[in-house]
Structure 1
Amino acid sequence: MDVRDDTPQALAPSSTVKDSASPEVYRRLRLITIIATFGGLLFGYDTGVISGALPFMSLAPEKGGLGLTPLTEGMVASSLVLGAAFGALYGGRLSDRHGRRKTILGLAVLFFVGALGTALAPDLWVMVLFRVLLGLAVGGASATVPVFIAELAPAERRGRLVTQNELMIVTGQLLAYTSNAVIARTVGEGGVWRWMLAIATVPAVLLWFGMLFVPESPRWLASRGRFDDALGTLGRIRDAQDVDAEFAESKQRVTADAGEPRAGWRDLGTPWIRNIVVFGFGLAALTQLTGVNSIMYFAPTILLDTGLGTQAALTATIANGVVAVLAVSTGMWLLGRFGRRPMLLTGQIGVTVSLVLIGFCFLVLPESAARSYLVLASMLTFLLFMQGCIATVFWLMLSEIFPLRLRGFAMGTAVFGTWMANFLVTLAFPPLIGAVGGTTFLLFAAVNVVTFVFYVRTVPETRGRSMEDIESHFRRQFAA
């Protein structure tokens, strides 16, 4: 499958797109984005918190733990990821059927119940059950929130507003790492992991209340034939002079699709739809096969293997979160100046070199404090390129490339690929690094070389185009 035109920059930025939003309208859009991206904050916290909780959950039950082994550690960590895969798959379809806003409200309830259940879990199997439930919420948010923001944002602001979700994801991970270190130091070992997991109930409540005051996506409203509601919502989030043109473009696209059946698997029989969904699925899966979550989930474990103590490893992991937040902030700035494609390719080169350096440290250098900090430095370099270039572009491109009629379904299918690849990496990483050590990182590096070649051949440029314009491009590209 190939999504190229005759030139790699298939969707070069339009020189006619200008940033015309007034400060008042932009402030309103930013407030809506901040509220919606509490789903991203929960995504980040719930995936990041497990890295600090696992060492304490591995303690014997009489010491406040669950007596986890390396295998059951992988089960606890990966159970959320498995739930997230199916949460993305079905969450996308629910958002197509019931709306982006209602879906996010339901996900907030799942976030609360899942966080509370994991914090109170009496044994391994109850923990796994609630981690799966929490994963459904994480996956649903990962498929729904970026699409919701992309559909609300004007073309010239879409990059900055959608990548706010990625910033909230890494901020959630930073909060998890920081609170893990603080709680571990202040609470003591007995049951400390329960406090780490329980904190996630607070942003879940804030997300639910905040979404009560947020409008539904005007593009989703239009797709359901609710044109008056769509026009009214656009009037709240656009300047008056921009409303009619954008409404007309959305209505034209919906009218063209009016005779089509409800979005579903049958749509994959249409060549251009199948190709763009396959491309999105591949982009999503390969982003996880960079090895990013082996570092985000197991950073303390990796650092412990280099010789650091538990408290030192937890404290050092905070640096991962700080770098991720700074990298995404930088990536958001770069997106306003460079295209999606060059940023993605640059990121692939950076993460590949970083993985080779981590493998070198494990395989060549003797155990020492110097090796520990060289591994940490290489991990931070990896995250700089991963979060600043790849992750920032990945979520943005997924939110903008799929056609309106099946955007939730296609996004959910692609993000399903993200979480399934994440699940496999998370489940396999602890036993793999136990068996072959630093060679694990060289294996990830080899995968990233292949990924770079795939991106060179397939990734188009979408910067500066309306979502309807992008859809029209792919319809033409795969019309045969």
Structure 2
Amino acid sequence: MDVFLKDFFPDVYQKESSVKASDDQYCKFDSQILTLFTSSLYLAALVSSIGASMATRKYGRRPTMMTSGLLFAAGAIVNGLAKNVVMLIVGRLFLGFGIGCANQSVPIYLSEVAPSKYRGALNMMFQLFITIGILIANSLNYAFARLIGGDMAWRLSLGGAIVPGLIILLGSCFLPDTPNSEIERGNYGRAKDLLLKLRDVDNVDEEFNDLVEASEKAKLVKHAWLNIFKRKYRPQLVFAVCIPMFQQLTGMNVIVFYAPVLFKTIGFGSNASLLSSLITGFVNMLATFASILTVDKLGRRKLFLMGGTQMLICQVVITIAIAMKFGEWEPRCDFLVPTLVP
């Protein structure tokens, strides 16, 4: 929102207001502070995910989920009441810590409480509702900007994150921990009672014994982090690292988080750029629905290849569109040296 940029990133706002859509926009909005504001969330998530993985294993999935909700709420409060950029970044750090805790605990919790035949579907629902959450957030941003405006608009957008944060926090209070987690901590009686309740059957001995055996075998594994570098695990390791890494290197997160600024550079107004972000979130949600409906019919590999092809085509189209819009250009950022001509 313009009022947000004016308050916290006036240099970006001035550059945005002084250029025309027909001008070459390359590096017009380069701001290290704005970049720090955005990327601080990812840095915090990276750091906290390491600690959260150990906490999830030692203390259980439920306490880690509760912690994530508390951190989300704290970050929303700090951001909503922000008076300066430092408060904004601190709030983003809290949100990043919450993401790290949630990403470590929630998928594991879903996998461990779900019956085996519904496990894949429930984990895909996790991704689906992430895209729905993005869509709702973009919708609220647009609504607040159009209907309220002023400082209160961006404060509601940032502070509104307290609502889902409190839902996670309070909802986790009513959830039991998983049988797997109880077994890991030696609470076998509690684990069996939970399994009986979750499966709603009279006898769970077979599944319970499998869980105990798996836990005992896992405890015998030494130097687990070193083991994944062994030759026999190398293909899985390469896929586990390269697929998400190259997915991020496509720049999708830049499009999602900087969408309003990016759309403004090609001539969209302030509200129109927020609306474009809303459209991006809507398409993202629809694509997730489509993948859920077709993954079992087409298979993981075909869907993966189709998604990669679509991303490649879109990247080429975007490059051509920018080249046609702005023609020849030379980089104006100090950290880029060579002259590039599309």
- Distance in 1 between the 2:322 and 2:35 partners? 21
SS at match of 2:286: helix
- Alignment partner, residue 107 of structure 1: 68
Deviations 1:365-412 (A, max 9, x none): 469xxxxxxxxxxxxxxxxxxxxxxxxxxxxxxxxxxxxxxxxxxxxx
CA contact (8 A) 1:96 1:220 kept: yes
Q: Distance in 2 between matches of 1:274 and 1:143?
A: 23
Q: Say whether residues 1:203 and 2:181 are aligned partners.
A: no
Q: Is the 8 A contact 2:62 2:172 kept in 1?
A: yes
Q: Report the equivalent of 1:332.
A: 292
| 1-structure distance, mates of 2:204, 2:298 | 28
Checking the alignment, whether the CA contact within 8 Å between 2:196 and 2:202 is kept in structure 1 is no
* Residue 150 of structure 2 corresponds to residue 189 of structure 1: yes
Query: Any conservation in 2 of the 1:110–1:137 contact (CA below 8 Å)?
Result: yes
Post-superposition Cα deviations, 1:349-372, rounded to whole Å, max 9, x if no partner, equal: 1111111111111112469xxxxx
Alignment of 1:332-351 (within 5 A): 332-351=292-311
How far is the alpha carbon of 1:126 from its aligned partner? Answer: 2.1
The alignment status of 1:58 with 2:21, answered yes or no, reads no
Q: Would you say 1:119 and 2:80 are equivalent positions?
A: yes
Q: Which of the residues 111, 118, 123 maps onto 1:162?
A: 123
CA distance in 1, matches of 2:231, 2:32: 42
Distance (Å, rounded) in 2 between the aligned partners of 1:142 and 1:111: 13
TM-score (norm 1): 0.61
- Alpha-carbon contact 1:221-1:227 (below 8 Å) kept: yes
Q: Is the 8 A contact 2:44 2:94 kept in 1?
A: yes
The Cα offsets for residues 272-309 of structure 1, whole Å up to 9 and x where unpaired, read as 56775564233332221222111111111221111111
SS of 1:185's partner is helix
When the two structures are aligned, how many residues end up with a matched partner? 319
- Structure number with bigger Rg: 2
What is the CA-CA distance between 1:265 and the residue it aligns to? 4.7
Q: Aligned pair in 2 of structure 1 residues 366, 130: CA closer, same or farther (>3 Å)?
A: closer
Separation (CA, whole Å) in 1 of partners of 2:93 and 2:337: 27
Q: CA deviation at 1:139?
A: 1.9
Change (3 A) 1:302 1:100: same
Shift of 1:324: 1.6
Distance 1:67 1:264 in 2: 49
Shift in Å, 1:342: 2.2
Q: Classify 1:71/1:297 alpha carbon distance in 2 versus 1 (closer, same or farther; 3 Å).
A: same
Q: Match for residue 105 of structure 2?
A: 144
Are the equivalent residues in 2 in contact too, given 1:56–1:191 (CA < 8 A)?
no
Gaps of 5+ in 2: 13-30, 328-332
Corresponding residue of 1:362:
322
Pair 1:166–1:257, CA change in 2 (3 A): closer
Matched, 1:252 2:213: yes
Distance 1:218 1:435, change over 3 A: farther
Q: Which moved more, 1:120-129 or 1:230-239?
A: 230-239
Tell me, yes or no, if structure 1 residue 83 matches structure 2 residue 44: yes
Task: Check whether the contact 1:160–1:336 (CA below 8 A) recurs between aligned residues.
Answer: no
Change (3 A) 1:157 1:360: same
Which of 191-200 and 237-246 deviates more?
A: 237-246
> Cα gap change, 1:191/1:240 in structure 2, threshold over 3 Å: closer, same or farther?
closer
Amino acid corresponding to residue 295 of structure 1 in structure 2: I
Cα distance 1:177–1:245, how it changes in 2: closer, same or farther (>3 A)?
same
| 1:165-190 CA distance string (max 9 Å, x none) | 11121111111111111111122233
CA RMSD of aligned residues (A): 3.0
C-alpha deviation, 1:271, in angstroms: 5.8
State the one-letter code of the partner of 1:159: G
CA apart distance, 1:125? 1.6
Q: Quick one: higher RCO (CA 8 Å, sep 6+), 1 or 2? A: 1
CA distance in 2, matches of 1:161, 1:232: 23
* Shift of residue 196, structure 1, vs aligned partner: 0.8
Quick one: distance in 1 between partners of 2:287 and 2:296? 15
1:224 to 185, 188, 192: 185
CA shift for structure 1 position 435 = 10
Q: Is the 8 A contact 1:159 1:335 kept in 2?
A: no
Asked whether the equivalents of residues 234 and 243 of structure 1 are also in contact (C-alpha less than 8 Å), the reply is yes
Residue 252 of structure 2 is matched in structure 1 by: 292
- Residue 57 of structure 1 deviates from its aligned partner by 2.5
The amino acid of 2:308's aligned partner reads: Q
C-alpha contact 2:67 2:101 (8 A) present in aligned 1: no
Distance in 1 (CA, whole Å) between partners of 2:270 and 2:337 is 22
Measured after TM superposition, the shift of residue 191 of structure 1 is 4.9
Cα distance between partner residues in 1 of 2:43 and 2:185? 31
- Taking structure 2 as the reference length, the TM-score comes to 0.83
Larger CA deviation: 73-82 vs 187-196: 187-196
Unmatched tracts of structure 1, length 5 or more: 1-52, 368-430, 443-480
Question: Residue 80 of structure 2 contacts residue 159 of structure 2 at CA under 8 Å; is this kept in 1?
Answer: yes
2:90 equivalent in structure 1:
129
Please give the alpha-carbon distance, in whole angstroms, between the structure 1 residues aligned to 2:231 and 2:188: 30
| Corresponding residue of 2:197 | 236
CA distance in 2: counterparts of 1:208 and 1:76, whole angstroms: 25
User: For 1:302, which of 257, 262, 274 is the aligned residue?
Assistant: 262
